[in-house]
Amino acid sequence: MFEATFAAELARRIGSTVEVATDNNLIEGVLSSVTSNLVLVIEVNTGYNNLKQYISVDAINYVRFPAAA
Residue 69 clears pLDDT 60, i.e. is over it:
no
Handedness of CA 24, 45, 54, 41 (dihedral sign): positive
- pLDDT range class, residue 62, cuts 50, 70, 90: very high
The strand pairing partners of 53, in sequence order, are 41
Q: What angle is formed at CA 64 by the lines to CA 38 and CA 55, rounded to 5 degrees? A: 20
Residue 1 clears pLDDT 70, i.e. is over it:
no
Residue 26 clears pLDDT 80, i.e. is over it:
yes
Percent of the chain with pLDDT over 70: 94
- Please, what is the average pLDDT of the chain? 90
What's residue 45's pLDDT? 77
Residue 61 clears pLDDT 90, i.e. is over it:
yes
